[in-house]
Amino acid sequence: MSHPSAQLYECQVMHCRLKPKQRPFQYRVFMLSLDLDDLPKSPWFSYDSFNLFSLHQQDHVELGKEGIRENLLHWLREQRVQVPNEIRVRLIAFPRVLGYAFKPVSFYYLTHADGTPFLSVAEVGNTFGEMKLYLVDGKKEKAWHRRTPKNFYVSPFSDPGDSFDFTLGHPLSELRVNIDDYRDDEKILLSTVRGKARPFTSSRLFWYGLKYPFLSLKVIALIHWHALLLWLRKVPYFKKTDRREAQLDVLKPHSSLTKDHSS
C-alpha cells in the first residue's frame, strides 16, 4: 500500500566542471519526498530511530526547536520571511541507510494549504558535517530561482567566495534541479538532479534497499574519487582554513571556523 503524502524519486545526478578543466561525472541515487506534517509508516522506514532507511532531525536544520519543520520555519522568520500559519513543508532528501548519513543537499518546498507554491529552501552540507541554508524564492515558470553568494566550503576545488545559482523545479511527477557555480559572471560548474516520482510503498523501499544498499557510502566515495582525479590533474584547490572569511552563517560549524588558527 502506498502512502499518499510521500513519494520516492529515483534520480540521475550529474556534475560537470567547466573551469579550469572540464570533468563530468554522474551517478544514480534515490531520494525521499516527505510531507513533514504527515510522515509515512513502513517497516523499512523510521523517524529518529534505526532502520533500513530513516530520517533524523539531527541531519537537518537544528536551531533549538522541536522537529525539522519548526526549525526550518524559525530560520525563515530569522530571514524576515512572513510564513503563513497554514503552510505545508515537503522535504526531499537522501535517507540514512542502516544508520549512516551523508546529505550533500536537501530541498524544502513550502506550499499553501491549497497547494500553491510559496517558496523553497536548499540545504547544502559538506564532508565536515557543516550545513548552510539558502532561500530560493525567485518565481519562475514551474520553478524557483535565485543566484546568491555561496559563503560555504563545499569542495577544495570550489572557492567559498563563488556564487550558487539555484533553479528548483516544483516537485510533481518529476524532480528537476539545477545548482550551478559562478565566479563573477562565469559559470564554472554545472550540477543537475533529474528524477521520476515513484509511489512510497514498503515493497519499493525494500527493493531500493537491494538496489542501493550503500547509497550514502556510494555518494561520498564518488565525491572523494573525483576530487582525487581533479588533484591529479593539478586543478587548483583551497584548504578549508584558506578562506575562513568567506564562510558565513554556517550551521554546525567545524572547529576550523570556531577555533583561533592564528598561532
User: pLDDT class for 20, splitting at 50, 70, 90?
Assistant: low
Place of cell 530520517: 55
How far, CA to CA in Å, does 171 sit from each of 7, 31, 61, 64?
10, 12, 21, 29
Q: What is the pLDDT of residues 33-83, one digit of tens each?
A: 999 999 999 999 999 999 999 999 999 999 999 999 999 999 999 999 999
H helical segments located in the chain: 68-78, 202-211, 215-232, 255-258
5 pLDDT more than 80: yes
Q: What is the pLDDT of residues 101-137, one digit of tens each?
A: 888 999 999 999 898 999 999 999 998 999 999 999 9
Please, what's the b/e burial string for 189-227 (b: 16 or more CB within 10 A of its CB; e: otherwise)? bbbbbbbeebebbbebbeebeeebeebbebbeebbeebb
Count CB atoms within 10 A of the CB of residue 7: 25
Distance between first and last Cα of the chain: 60
Give the global pTM: 0.91
Rounded (to 5) percent helix, strand, coil in the chain: 20, 40, 40
Sign of CA dihedral 226, 227, 232, 237: positive
H-run or E-run covering 186: strand 186-201
Domain boundaries, the chain: 2-258
User: pLDDT class for 212, splitting at 50, 70, 90?
Assistant: confident
More confident residue, 71 or 17: 71
Q: What is the pLDDT of residues 233-259, one digit of tens each?
A: 666 677 888 888 999 999 999 998 887
Looking at residue 262, what is its pLDDT?
54
With a CB cutoff of 8 Å and minimum separation 6, the contacts of 40 are 3, 5, 6, 34, 200
CA distance 83 to 81: 6
Q: For residues 25-29, give the mean pLDDT.
A: 87
With a CB cutoff of 8 Å and minimum separation 6, the contacts of 221 are none
Average pLDDT, the chain: 89
